[in-house]
C-alpha cells in the first residue's frame, strides 16, 4: 500500500494536481485583479468589476439608494457595476429633456457593452499572466508554468461557456431593486414617541415609493419589454387591515406607475365595525377606479361604506367592465369578528365548495371574465379555467402559480403589513402590492412589478419585475360535473319480506 502511495504514478498525479491548483488559484487572483474597468455611462461614471459568486448574475449598485440585481447568468463569476460619479449638468439636462431618453438609453447600453468587453479582455490577459507567474514562482520551471497557464486558460473557457449557455435573455426585463433610505435611523429614533414615529414612517414610505419607482423606471428603460402608453396598468392590493400608511403607498404607486385601476381582494378592515367605516373614505382620494371584494374581516357594513365612495366598484357575485377589463368578484362568505355565529372556522374544503357553487353559476356566461377576484385562495382555485387571471389575498404571503387549466393564480401579500398583527412576529410583516400590466386589445397579462416595503418601523424597499412567459396561452375551462345518476324505477313485483332474525337472550 505504501508503495502505491509513493510510486511514480502517485508522484505524477500529485504534480499534476499541484500544477492545476496553482494555475486555478493564480488565474482566479489575476481574473479578480484585472477584471476592473472605469467606463462612462451617460451622465455617470461606472466602475465595472468581477466578483466570485455561487449564483452569478449582474448587480448595479447605486449608493446610497440601493442595488439593481439581474439574473443574467449562472456562476461562478458575478459582474458588479457601481455608479462612481454623477455629472450634474448632463443629469439635469436629462431630467429637463425627457425626449432624449431613448437616444441616451442606446448610448448608455453601447458604453456599458464596450466597458464589459474591455473588462473581460483585460481580466483574461491578467489571469493568464498571473497563472504563468504563479507557476514559475512555485515550480521554477518554464514547462510547469506554461501548464499552469494552460489550466487557467481552460478554466476561463469553461467560465465563458457557462455564462453563454446560461444567459437569461429576459433578465434585463426582470430587474429586482433593493434599496434603503439614508435617514432610516432618524425615522425610528428612540427619542420620539410611537405616534410621532408612525407619522414619520407613514410619510417616509410615500417618499420612498416615489423615489425608488423613479429610479426603477429609469433603470429598466432597456431595449426589452417596457409597458407602452397603451398598456393597461392594474394595481393589486389586499389585506390592508386598517393601516393608514397603506393609503400613502397606494396613492404614490398610482401616480408613479400611472395606474388605471385598483383591485382590492378584501380585508380592508380589522373587525368590520361601524366605527371603522370612515377608514374607507380614503378610497375617494385615489385617482383611479377602486374595485373591491369583501374579505373575512370585512362586514356587510364595510362593503356598504366602500360602495359609498364615488370611485369604488363593489363586486359581490357580480361582473363589471372597468377600463375595458371584465372583472368578476365575490365577497367572502365569512365574517370572522362576528362571534354570534359560534364557530367561525371554515375548512379549505368548505371554501372550495363555496367557490365551486359560484363557479357553476358563472360557467354558462357567454362572455367570460378577464379577471376573477376572490379573497381566499382556497375559494379562488375553484374558478380555474374560467378566466386567465385569478386574484386573491388572505394569506399575507405573496405567491403566484400557473394552474393546469392555464389560469394564473396570483395571491397578494398584505398591503397594510397585516395591521397591528403584523408586529406579532420577530420581524414586522412587509407591505406588499403589485402593478399588473395588461394588453388593452387581448386583455391578457403581459408582466407585473412586485413592490415590497419594510413593515412598521422599517424603510427598506424592493421592486422586482416578472414577465408572463406565454401571455396568449389557451385557457381550458374545466368539464362541468356529470349529472347524478337517476334513481332506479320501483319494481312492480311484491317486495320480499326479510326473515325475522332469531331472538337473542339478554345476558
Query: What 3-state DSSP class applies to 107?
Result: helix
Cα(354)–Cα(374) distance, integer angstroms = 11
In the block, cell 369604488 appears at: 312
Beta bridge partners of 411: 392, 399
Angle at 491 between CA 488 and CA 495, to 5 degrees: 125
Kindly tell me if the per-residue pLDDT of 156 is higher than 60.
yes
The pLDDT tens digits of the residues spanning 52-76 come to: 888 888 887 766 456 667 788 887 8
**Cβ distance 299 to 426 under 8 Å?**
no
Asked if residue 165 has pLDDT above 60, the reply is yes
Mean predicted confidence (pLDDT) in 196-221: 49
Structure confidence at residue 197 (pLDDT): 44
Distance in angstroms (rounded) separating the CA atoms of residues 279 and 250? 14
Q: DSSP label at 491?
A: P
Helix or strand (DSSP H, E) at 375: none
Average pLDDT estimate for 208-236: 60
Q: Quick one: pLDDT at residue 461?
A: 74
CA atoms within 13 A on the CB side of 300: 2
- Residue 213: band (very low, low, confident or very high) from pLDDT cuts 50, 70, 90: low
Q: Of 12-16, 28-32, 113-117, 193-197, where does mean pLDDT reach its minimum? A: 193-197
**SS3 per residue for 160-226:** HHHHHHCCCCCHHHCCEEEEECCCHHHHCCCCCCHHHHHHHHHHHHHHHHHHHHHHHHHHCCCCCCC
DSSP 397: S
Whether the pLDDT of residue 335 is over 70: the answer is yes
Q: Average pLDDT for residues 386-409, to the nearest whole number?
A: 96
Residue bearing the bigger pLDDT, 346 or 458? 346
135-153 mean pLDDT: 89
Q: Is 403 exposed, middle or buried (0-12, 13-18, 19+ CB in 10 A)?
A: middle
Q: How far apart are CA 493 and CA 13, in angstroms?
A: 95
Q: What is the dihedral sign for C-alpha 292, 296, 300, 301?
A: negative
Average pLDDT in the 15-26 region? Answer: 87
State percent of the chain over pLDDT 70: 70
Residue 41 near residue 82 (C-beta atoms within 8 A): no
User: Quick check: 159 and 120 in contact, CB under 8 A?
Assistant: no
Residue 187 has a pLDDT of: 30
What is the C-alpha separation between 272 and 266, in angstroms, rounded? 11
Rounded Cα–Cα distance for residues 416 and 455 (Å):
8
pLDDT tens by residue, 321-334:
999 999 999 999 98
Structure confidence by residue, pLDDT tens digits, 303-318: 999 999 999 999 999 9
Report the half-sphere exposure of 404 (CA within 13 A, side-chain side): 2
- Stretch among 67-71, 86-90, 276-280, 376-380 having the lowest mean pLDDT: 86-90
Question: Is the backbone peptide bond immediately before 253 cis, with ω within 30 degrees of 0?
Answer: no
Q: Which three cell numbers stand for residue 183?
A: 435617514
Q: Does a cis peptide bond (omega within 30 degrees of 0) precede residue 64?
A: yes
- Take residue 476 and report the three cell numbers written for it: 381550458
Residue 50 dihedral angles phi and psi, to the nearest 5°: -105, 140
Q: Is pLDDT above 80 for 251?
A: yes
In angstroms, rounded to a whole number, what is the distance separating the alpha carbons of residues 81 and 85? 12
Return the pLDDT at 126.
Answer: 92
Upper half-sphere CA count for residue 421 (Cβ side, 13 Å): 14
- Give the chain's length: 507
Let me know: does 56 contact 73? Beta carbons within 8 Å.
Answer: yes
Q: In this predicted model, what pLDDT tens digit does every residue of 455-505 receive, in sequence order?
A: 555 556 788 888 888 999 999 987 765 555 555 444 443 443 333 333 333
Selected residue with higher pLDDT from 192 and 261 = 261
pTM of structure: 0.66
The closest of 247, 258, 308, 315 to 282, measured between CA atoms, is: 247
% of the chain at pLDDT higher than 90: 36
Amino acid at each position: 500500500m505504501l508503495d502505491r502511495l509513493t510510486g511514480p504514478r502517485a508522484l505524477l498525479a500529485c504534480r499534476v494536481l499541484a500544477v492545476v491548483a496553482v494555475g486555478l488559484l493564480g488565474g482566479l487572483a489575476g481574473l479578480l485583479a484585472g477584471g476592473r474597468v472605469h467606463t462612462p455611462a451617460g451622465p455617470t461614471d461606472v466602475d465595472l468589476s468581477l466578483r466570485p459568486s455561487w449564483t452569478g448574475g449582474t448587480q448595479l449598485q447605486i449608493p446610497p439608494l440601493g442595488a439593481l440585481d439581474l439574473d443574467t447568468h449562472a456562476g461562478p463569476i458575478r459582474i458588479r457595476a457601481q455608479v462612481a460619479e454623477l455629472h450634474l449638468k448632463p443629469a439635469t439636462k436629462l431630467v429637463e429633456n425627457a425626449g432624449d431618453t431613448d437616444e441616451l438609453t442606446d448610448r448608455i447600453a453601447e458604453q456599458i457593452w464596450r466597458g464589459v468587453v474591455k473588462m473581460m479582455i483585460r481580466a483574461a490577459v491578467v489571469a493568464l499572466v498571473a497563472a504563468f507567474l504563479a507557476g514559475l514562482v512555485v515550480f521554477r520551471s518554464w514547462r510547469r508554468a506554461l501548464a499552469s497557464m494552460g489550466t487557467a486558460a481552460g478554466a476561463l473557457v469553461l467560465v465563458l461557456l457557462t455564462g453563454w449557455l446560461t444567459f437569461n435573455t429576459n433578465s434585463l426585463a426582470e430587474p429586482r431593486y433593493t434599496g434603503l433610505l439614508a435617514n432610516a435611523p432618524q425615522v425610528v429614533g428612540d427619542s420620539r414617541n410611537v405616534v410621532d414615529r408612525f407619522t414619520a414612517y407613514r410619510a417616509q414610505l410615500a417618499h420612498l415609493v416615489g423615489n425608488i419607482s423613479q429610479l426603477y423606471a429609469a433603470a429598466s428603460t432597456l431595449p426589452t419589454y417596457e409597458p407602452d402608453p397603451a398598456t393597461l396598468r392594474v394595481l393589486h392590493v389586499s389585506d390592508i387591515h386598517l393601516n393608514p400608511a397603506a393609503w400613502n403607498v397606494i396613492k404614490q404607486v398610482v401616480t408613479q406607475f400611472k395606474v388605471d385601476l385598483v383591485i382590492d381582494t378584501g380585508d380592508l378592515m380589522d373587525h368590520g365595525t361601524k366605527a371603522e367605516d370612515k377608514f374607507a373614505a380614503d378610497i375617494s382620494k385615489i385617482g383611479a377606479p377602486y374595485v373591491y371584494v369583501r374579505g373575512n374581516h370585512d362586514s356587510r357594513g364595510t362593503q356598504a361604506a366602500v360602495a359609498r365612495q364615488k370611485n369604488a366598484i363593489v363586486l359581490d357575485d357580480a361582473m363589471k367592465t372597468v377600463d375595458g377589463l371584465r372583472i368578476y368578484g365575490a365577497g367572502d362568505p365569512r365574517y370572522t369578528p362576528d362571534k354570534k355565529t359560534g364557530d367561525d372556522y371554515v375548512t379549505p374544503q368548505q371554501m372550495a365548495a363555496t367557490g365551486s357553487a359560484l363557479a357553476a353559476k358563472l360557467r354558462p356566461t357567454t362572455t367570460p371574465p378577464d379577471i376573477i377576484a376572490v379573497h381566499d385562495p382556497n375559494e379562488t382555485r375553484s374558478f380555474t379555467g374560467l378566466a386567465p387571471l385569478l386574484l386573491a389575498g388572505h394569506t399575507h404571503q405573496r405567491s403566484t402559480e400557473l394552474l393546469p387549466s392555464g389560469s394564473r393564480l396570483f395571491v397578494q401579500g398584505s398591503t397594510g403589513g397585516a395591521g397591528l398583527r403584523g408586529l406579532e412576529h420577530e420581524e414586522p410583516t412587509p407591505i406588499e402590492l403589485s402593478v399588473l400590466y395588461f394588453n388593452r386589445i387581448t386583455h391578457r397579462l403581459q408582466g407585473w412589478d412586485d413592490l415590497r416595503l419594510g413593515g412598521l418601523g422599517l424603510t427598506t424597499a424592493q421592486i422586482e419585475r416578472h414577465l408572463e412567459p406565454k401571455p396568449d396561452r389557451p385557457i381550458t375551462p374545466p368539464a362541468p360535473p356529470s349529472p347524478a345518476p337517476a334513481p332506479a324505477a320501483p319494481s312492480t313485483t311484491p317486495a320480499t319480506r326479510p326473515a325475522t332474525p332469531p331472538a337473542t337472550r339478554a345476558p
